[in-house]
Structure 1
Amino acid sequence: MASKKAGGSTKNGRDSNPKYLGVKRYGGQFVQKGQIIVRQRGTRIHPGWGVAMGSDFTIYATVDGVVKFHERKGRKYVSVIPE
């Protein structure tokens, strides 16, 4: 009589879906109003001039222009310089 004891369950075997975070437009690139520049969790990069931040901390352009990343008082900022 062949028999097999019941196997124990494992606590592994699951994974979360990718969130596609990060910088979408880099310094020197031209962006149009409404285009996403950075997708992030929390304010790793703060909004500067010509950009706004959404409720999920996404930074997007409010004017047409060129992306500029800069640092001030130990904080990273992103701005859009109109052209």
Structure 2
Amino acid sequence: MRKGEVCGACTGALMALGLKYGDSKTKSNEVCEKFLDEFEKENRSYICRELLNCDIRTEEGVKYALDNNIFKEFCPKMIESATKITENYL
């Protein structure tokens, strides 16, 4: 967490998909890849620092995110996007 890697909304979605399709590694991998592809297509990336346009691994990045209400205004949109995409696979 707070490393600027895969978006937390995506991580949660991937966990849910893993629970649903975990009996088949092949199917789980296929669905998770499709999810990430769809999320990236809709949001231009699934990497946090690319989505936020700042690097929250740094104090400056966190300050920028807080000053611009990114966690309160932008991140919920990513959660909504991840949820809608995930619903198609559940």
With structure 2 as the length reference, what TM-score do the two structures score?
0.22
Instruction: Mark the structure with the bigger radius of gyration.
Output: 1
Q: Calculate the TM-score normalised by the size of structure 1.
A: 0.23
Question: Which structure is richer in relative contact order (CA contacts within 8 A, separation 6 or more)?
Answer: 2
- The structure that is strand-richer by fraction is 1
